[in-house]
Structure 1
Amino acid sequence: MTEAAIFVIFPFCLGFAAFSDLLTMTIPNRVSAILLGAFFLVAPMAGLGFAEIGLHLAAAALVFVVCFVLFATNVMGGGDAKLLTASALWFGMTPSLTAFLLYVSIFGGLLTLAVLLLRRQENTILASGIPFPHLLLTAKKIPYGIAIALGGFAAYPSSPLVEAAFARLS
C-alpha cells in the first residue's frame, strides 16, 4: 500500500495542478496541502528516518525562501510557490532535488516561449474556433504549474521515496 501511495499521490497531484493552472491560471491550495500531508504519512512507512525527513524539510524550507522572494517581487505566483515548495519536500536534499529544479527551469523556459508564441497568434487562434483555453492567451502570466509538473515527472523516478519503494518491492 505504501508503494502504491508513492507511485500515485505525487504524480496525480502534479497532473491535477498542471491542468488546473492551464485552464484557470490557479493552483488550488488543497493540492499543495495534500502533497505535504501525504509526504508525512508516506515517508515513515517507506523507511525514512527522522534525520532523512529533516533533510526533506530543509529542502522544502530552502525552496520556500527562494519562492517567497520571487513571489514578493511579483516574479512568481503564490500557487506556483506553494506547489514548488510542497514538491521539493518529496525530493529532499538530494541530487534528485537539483535535477527537479533544473527540469522545472528548462520546461518553464520552453513553456514561456511557447505561450508567448501562441499569444502572438491570439487573433488567428480565436478566429479559428478551435477549442482553446482562452486564459492562456489573454492572461498576463504563465501557467508555471505545467513546468513544475513536467519537472516533477522527469525527476521523480530518481527521488528517495521512489527508490525506497522499488527497494521494498525487490
Structure 2
Amino acid sequence: MTIACIVVILPFCLALAAFSDLFTMAIPNRISAILLGAFIIVALLANIGVGQIGLHIAAAAVVFAVCFCLFAASIMGGGDAKLLTACTVWFGLDASLVAFLVYVSIFGGLLTLAVLFLRSHENAILASGIPVPQLLLTAKKIPYGIAIALGGFAAYPSSPMMQLAFAQLS
C-alpha cells in the first residue's frame, strides 16, 4: 500500500493542479494540503526517520520562503507558491530537488512563451475554432501549475520517495 501511495499521490495531485490551473487559472488549496498531509502519512508508514522527514520539511520551508517573497512582489501566484512548496516536501534536500526546480523553470519558460504566442494570435485561434480555454487567452497571468506539474513528472522518478518505492519492490 505504501508503494502505491508513493507512486500515485504526487503525480495525481500534480495532474489535478495542472488541469485546474489551465481551465480556471486557480489551484485549489486542498491539493497542496493533500500533498503535505499525505507525505507525512506515507513517510511514517514507509519508516522514514523523523530526522529525514524534518529535512524534507526544511526544504519545503526554504522553497516557501522564496515563493512567499515572489508572491509578495506579485511575481508568483499564491496557488503556485503553495503547490511548489507542497511538491518540494516530496523531494526533500536531495539532488532531485534541484532537478525538480530546474525542470519547473525550463517548463515555465516554455509555457510562458507558448501562452504569449497564443495570446498574440488570439484572433486567428478564435476564428479557426481551435479549442483553447478562454481564460488562457484573456487572463493576465500564466497557469504556472502546468509547469510545476511537468517539472514534477520529469523529476519524480529520481526522487528519494520513488527510490524508496523501487527499493521495496526489489
**TM-score higher than 0.5:** yes
The number of aligned residues is 170
Aligned equivalent of 2:143: 143
Q: Which moved more, 1:122-131 or 1:149-158?
A: 122-131
Unpaired stretches in structure 2, ≥5 consecutive residues:
none
The answer (yes or no) to whether the contact 1:47–1:164 under 8 Å persists in 2 is no
CA-CA distance at 1:168 after TM superposition: 0.8
TM-score (norm 2): 0.98
Q: Does 1:160 align with 2:160?
A: yes
For 2:37, what is the secondary structure of its paired residue?
helix
Aligned equivalent of 1:117: 117
Aligned equivalent of 1:42: 42
The answer (yes or no) to whether the contact 1:31–1:83 under 8 Å persists in 2 is yes
CA-CA distance at 1:130 after TM superposition: 2.5
Q: How does 1:87-98 map to 2 (within 5 A)?
A: 87-98=87-98
CA-CA distance at 1:127 after TM superposition: 1.7
Q: Distance in 2 between matches of 1:131 and 1:114?
A: 15
Unpaired stretches in structure 1, ≥5 consecutive residues:
none
Query: Which amino acid letter does the alignment assign opposite residue 17 of structure 1?
Result: A
Q: Distance in 2 between matches of 1:140 and 1:130?
A: 20
The answer (yes or no) to whether the contact 1:46–1:161 under 8 Å persists in 2 is no
TM-score (norm 1): 0.98
Q: Distance in 2 between matches of 1:131 and 1:95?
A: 39
CA-CA distance at 1:45 after TM superposition: 1.6
Deviations 1:64-110 (A, max 9, x none): 00000000000000000000000000000000000000000000000
Q: Distance in 2 between matches of 1:124 and 1:167?
A: 51
CA-CA distance at 1:48 after TM superposition: 1.1
Deviations 1:133-155 (A, max 9, x none): 01000000000000000000000
Q: Distance in 2 between matches of 1:148 and 1:47?
A: 28
Query: Which amino acid letter does the alignment assign opposite residue 74 of structure 2?
Result: N
Deviations 1:12-62 (A, max 9, x none): 000000000000000000100100010000012223101100100000000
Q: Which moved more, 1:106-115 or 1:119-128?
A: 119-128
Q: Distance in 2 between matches of 1:131 and 1:99?
A: 33
Aligned equivalent of 1:4: 4
Q: Distance in 2 between matches of 1:45 and 1:157?
A: 20
Q: Aligned-residue CA RMSD in angstroms? A: 0.6
Q: Distance in 1 between matches of 2:10 and 2:88?
A: 11
Question: Which 4+ stretches in 1 moved above 2 angstroms?
Answer: none
Q: Distance in 1 between matches of 2:19 and 2:116?
A: 19
Q: How does 1:23-34 map to 2 (within 5 A)?
A: 23-34=23-34
Query: Which amino acid letter does the alignment assign opposite residue 29 of structure 2?
Result: N
Query: Which amino acid letter does the alignment assign opposite residue 40 of structure 1?
Result: I
Q: Which moved more, 1:8-17 or 1:121-130?
A: 121-130
